[in-house]
Amino acid sequence: MTEIQLEKITKKYGAIETIHGIDLTVTDGEFVVLVGPSGCGKSTTLRMIAGLEPITGGDLRIGGEIVNEHEPKERNIAMVFQNYAIYPHMSVRQNIGFGLYTAKMSKADKNKRIEETAEMLGLVELLDRKPSALSGGQRQRVAIGRAMVRNPVAFLFDEPLSNLDAQLRSQMRIEIKRLHQRLKSTIVYVTHDQVEAMTMADRIVVMRDGHILQSGSPTDLYENPSDIFTARFIGNPSMNMITAIATQNGLVAENGNAVLSVASPDVAINSKVSVGVRSHALSVGVPNGAAGLTLTGEILVLEPLGSETLVHIDTADGVVIASAPALHQLTAGQTVSAFASVENLYFFDSDSQKALMRP
Amino acid sequence: MSTIISEGLMQAKAHPGRIIIWAVLLIGGLIMITPILFMFGTSFKDASQVYDMRLFPEYPTLDNYIQVLSDGRFLRWFGNSLGIATTVTLSNVFFDSLVGYTLAKFDFRGRYLIFLAILSTLMIPTEMLVIPWYLMASKLGWIDTYWGVMFPGMMTAFGTFLMKQFFETVPNDFLEAARIDGLNEFQIWWKIALPLVTPALSALAIFTFLGNWTAFFWPLIVTTSQEFYTLPVGLTSFAIEQSIQWEKIMTGAALATIPTLIVFLVLQRFIVRGIMLAGLKG
């Protein structure tokens, strides 16, 4: 049973509080990704779980036991660092074996464990090499090996892929995910990359300014963001936002020429409402059925992605990104309209930034 | 391959500036090495040839070596110097790096003040310290003992400063990874941090060894009986007591260079820069 529980955890540096009483439970075998912009407190949270950073307030339980005052080694967790942190003066074998440094087991048993781990990570041929003779991906695998070798109760990953190039990153994403499926271990993974969060997590925890904004499955966060920040942070490209005013007769664009055919959500008349729409749901061309939102403007840039083209449109309501079928003939400078149906629109209170019920 | 080399040579030829640099370096090198060659040359001369300015003797002889080495005092002084320089070097490598590491990697109240206090001692010249050292040694009964020769140099502010600066370049991730792997703080220093600063450690060892091997002033003051002399002090007494016998002095000096050469040859291969970065992002 290796549940990790954070109860009202706070962190202060001097008089400045950076983590404001967060609550989070990571269940046994769950892959939880903490995601958010730099400085949101996700790495600090991870380091508090690891025991590298003292906890100012609240309780941290691992397997039911309060471990606030436990040394990192007493928590039996493993951590993989952004910089890999594999020791340059040791071979791959010694690096992986280092995880067993304090383990009370015979040399033969240790070697067996090292070889099993190397086998699992495809490092067998590299065991006698020094880190300087390894590629970035191989180094990261050694770092994972060192974490795996002693069967920790949980793995903590601190932006482990941010130093790899795009191709290697997507490959390592799959490898880590497969590893999790095989080992069924509890993982807390920190990243600022929403693609990593979406593709790997069982559950995503969105953090900002030391608070947890929302936590849920990737689909849940994508489909039902609880506020503007999450809505824009999750999903690529970011969700388009248009400001509208609630009236008796429905929403009306605040400044621009956006045409909205939707009733006002449950807010006071004349209050501001942010209307969100994802790029893939905002299509250039002919409306498919009744449009809830129509935006017209000049094309700024076209980004052909193969299967579709992203169209940056300069509208009176701001620049929005819409999509068009790949074969659609479009040129920059052309004036076009983009349409979205009502069920693809999201509504947020512009003041509180919180999501509103759909009308 | 040959084309590359010849192109390289052509490039070198085309650079008159480089030829001047080489010439200056060559002259500098010759100036440096001549006294050493002269020392070795003289050590193979007999007394009658000493004032013959030839670099290599006409009739080389090993007599000086036989005489110097068969004089029990020389071997004793050689042993004294070796023991003292080695002990002081090991002590510096251990304590300077331990203190340097603590100052670089631990956050505690007064850290900066302690560092400043250590650093400020660098500004006091040795000549000023000799009298307090002597008074202290005499009160504690350390005059004419090995410990008396060694104690002022067992830890140095320079070494602490050098090691602190190098430890600051060791990424914290390495230390934290080791902490999570279950090592205690001493083990982290010993197994992880220390191997990552071997270039600095080697440099410190070379400086300390050479400094103590050639130290003259303090050992001369603190020792009174010949059995505690170090080699430089002993060689000087050689010169004074037997009307100056240059060939013997040069032989002693030639023999005295051997350990410094060995120390340098053994340690210089560790002075390889950049080893530390190999474990980090590529």
Query: Is A184 among the domain residues?
Result: yes
What confidence score (pLDDT) does residue B275 get? 42
Judge if A312 and A217 occupy the same domain: no
Average pLDDT over residues B5-9: 48
Smallest Cα distance from B203 to chain A, Å: 18
Give the pLDDT score at B271: 57
pLDDT, position A69:
93
d(CA B32, CA B240): 27
Q: Is the pLDDT of residue A187 over 90?
A: yes
| Chain A residue numbers touching B282 (CB-CB < 8 A) | 135-136, 139, 163
A34 and A151 co-located in one domain: yes
pLDDT tens readout for residues A138-170: 898 899 899 888 888 899 999 988 888 888 888
Domain with residue A57: its CATH number is: 3.40.50.300
Cβ atoms A152, A75 nearer than 8 A: no
pLDDT at B270: 65
Q: What is the mean pLDDT of chain A?
A: 90
Same domain, A61 and A176: yes
**Binary contact (A85, B180; C-beta < 8 A):** no
- Cis check for the bond before B171: say yes or no (omega within 30 of 0): no
Q: What is the DSSP string of A50-86?
A: HTSS---EEEEEETTEE-TT--GGGGTEEEEBTTB--
The neighbour count for residue B66, using CB atoms within 10 Å, is 11
Domain boundary among A185, A213, A232: A232
Establish if B272 touches chain A: CB-CB under 8 angstroms. no
A21 inside domain:
yes
Q: Is residue A30 part of a domain?
A: yes
**Numbered ranges of CATH 1.10.3720.10 in chain B:** 65-279
Please tell me the predicted confidence (pLDDT) of residue B114.
94
Residue of A nearest to B277 (CA): A88
Q: How high is the pLDDT of residue B264? A: 78
Evaluate the CA torsion angle A202, A203, A206, A211 in order and state its sign.
negative
Domain span at residue A186? 4-232
Report the SS3 class of residue A190: strand
Tell me the residues of A at the B interface, defined by beta carbons under 8 Å apart: 50-52, 71-73, 77-79, 81-89, 98-99, 101-102, 130-132, 135-136, 139, 146, 163
Is residue A69 one of the residues assigned to a domain? yes
A80 with A143: CB under 8 angstroms? yes
Q: Does B273 touch chain A (CB under 8 A)?
A: no
Name every chain B residue with its beta carbon within 8 A of the beta carbon of A81. 173, 176-177
* Residues of chain A with C-beta less than 8 angstroms from the C-beta of B179: 51-52, 71-73
DSSP state, residue A305: -
Residue scoring higher pLDDT (A291 or A181): A181
Distance between CA atoms of A19 and A159, rounded to whole angstroms?
19
Segment A102-123 mean pLDDT? 88
Percent of chain A with pLDDT over 70: 99
Tens of pLDDT, residues B100-159: 999 999 999 999 999 999 999 888 888 889 999 999 999 999 999 999 999 999 999 999
> For position A335, which CATH number holds?
2.40.50.140
Please check the confidence at residue A93 and state whether its pLDDT lies above 90: yes
Q: Which residues of A touch B109 (CB under 8 A)?
A: none
Confidence of residue B13 (pLDDT cuts 50, 70, 90): low
Specify the pLDDT at position B70: 86
Provide the shortest C-alpha distance from residue A120 to chain B (in Å).
Answer: 20
Domain boundary among A185, A215, A232: A232
The answer on A37 and A88 residing in a single domain is: yes
- Please check whether residues A226 and A322 belong to one and the same domain: no
Closest CA in chain B for residue A158 = B173
Q: Among residues A237, A211, A236, which one has the least CA distance to residue A226?
A: A211
Q: What pLDDT digit, counting tens, does each position of B154-204 carry? A: 999 999 999 999 999 999 999 999 999 888 999 999 999 999 998 888 888
The residues, ordered by sequence, that sit 6+ positions from B170 with a Cβ below 8 Å of its Cβ are B104, B105, B193, B196, B197, B276
Q: Give the pLDDT mean for A286-291.
A: 71
| The last residue of a domain, from among A206, A232, A258 | A232
Share of chain B above pLDDT 90, in %: 46
State the pLDDT at residue A168: 85
With an 8 Å Cβ cutoff, are A77 and B180 in contact?
Answer: yes
Which whole-number Å values give the CA distances from A70 to A49, A52, A314, in the listed order?
Answer: 10, 10, 56
Q: What angle do CA B279, B280, B282 make, to 5 degrees?
A: 110
Q: pLDDT of B45-90, one tens digit each?
A: 888 887 877 778 888 888 888 988 888 888 899 999 999 999 999 9
Q: What is the least distance, in Å, from the CA of A146 to any CA of chain B?
A: 9
**In a shared domain, residues A214 and A329:** no
Mean pLDDT of B243-262: 84
Residue B155 at interface with chain A, using a CB cutoff of 8 Å: no
How many alpha carbons lie under 13 Å from residue B159 in its C-beta half-sphere?
26
B185 vs A: CB within 8 A:
no
Measure CB to CB from residue A83 to each of B181, B182, B281 and give the nearest one. Answer: B281
Phi, then psi, of A290 in degrees rounded to 5? -75, 130
In a domain, A164, yes or no: yes
* The amino acid at B273: R
Same domain, A202 and A331: no
| A356 assigned to some structural domain | no
Selection from B188, B162, B189 nearest residue B98 by Cα = B189
pLDDT digits over A321-345, tens only?
999 987 778 889 999 999 998 889 9
A354, part of any domain: no
In the predicted structure, residue B239 carries a pLDDT above the cut 80: no
CA torsion angle B243 B247 B249 B251 (round to 10): -160
Interchain proximity B179–A72, CB inside 8 Å: yes
Q: Is B192 on the interface with A (CB under 8 A)?
A: yes
B180–A132: do the CB atoms touch at under 8 Å?
A: no
- Total domains in chain A come to 2
* Residues A250, A179 within the same domain: no
Q: Is B16 in the A-facing interface, judged by CB distances under 8 Å?
A: no
Question: Do residues A143 and A280 both lie within one domain?
Answer: no
Number of Cβ pairs < 8 A linking chain A and chain B: 83
Residues B174, A135: C-beta atoms closer than 8 Å: no
pLDDT of residue B237: 81
Q: What is the mean pLDDT of chain B?
A: 85
In a domain, A163, yes or no: yes
- Tell me: do A206 and A246 sit in the same domain: no
Q: Terminus-to-terminus CA distance in chain A, angstroms?
A: 44
Instruction: Provide the angle, in degrees to the nearest 10, between the axes of the packed helices B111-120 and B157-168.
Output: 140
Partner-chain contact A131 B180, CB within 8 Å: no
Task: Tell me which residue in A52, A71, A85 faces B174 most closely, judged by beta carbons.
Answer: A85
Hey, what are A115's tokens?
A: 């070889």
The pLDDT, as a whole number, for residue B3 is 45
Assess B113–A contact: CB distance below 8 Å, yes or no.
Answer: no
The Cα of A355 is separated from the nearest Cα of chain B by a number of Å equal to 40
Question: How far from A39 is each of A58, A211, B108, CA to CA, in Å?
Answer: 21, 11, 25
Q: How far apart are CA A293 and CA A339, in angstroms?
A: 6
Residue A276 · residue A228 · CB < 8 Å? yes
Residue B5 predicted with pLDDT over 70: no
Using a CB-CB distance cutoff of 8 angstroms, which residues of chain B are in contact with residue A73? 179-183
CB-based contact (8 Å) between B278 and chain A?
A: yes
Cβ–Cβ contact B169 with A under 8 A: no
Q: Does B220 touch chain A (CB under 8 A)?
A: no
Q: How far is A185 from chain B (nearest CA, A)?
A: 18
* Mutate: best of B109, B181, B270, partner A, most A CBs <10 A: B181
Q: pLDDT tens for residues A192-211? A: 998 999 999 999 999 999 99
What CATH class is the domain B65-279? Answer: mainly alpha
Mean pLDDT of A5-17: 93
Are residues A178 and A260 located together in one domain of the fold? no
Answer whether residue B274 shows pLDDT above 70.
no
Q: How far is CA A313 from CA A7, A231, A300, A308, B266, in A?
A: 46, 20, 6, 15, 69
Query: Which position has the token pair 């104690």?
Result: B151
pLDDT band at A59 (very low <50, low <70, confident <90, very high): very high
Closest Cβ–Cβ partner in A50, A131, A135 for B279: A131
How sure is the predictor about A264, in pLDDT bands with cuts at 50, 70 and 90? confident
Q: Which pLDDT does position B1 carry in this prediction? A: 42
Residues A50 and A133 in one domain: yes
More reliable by pLDDT, B267 or A47: A47
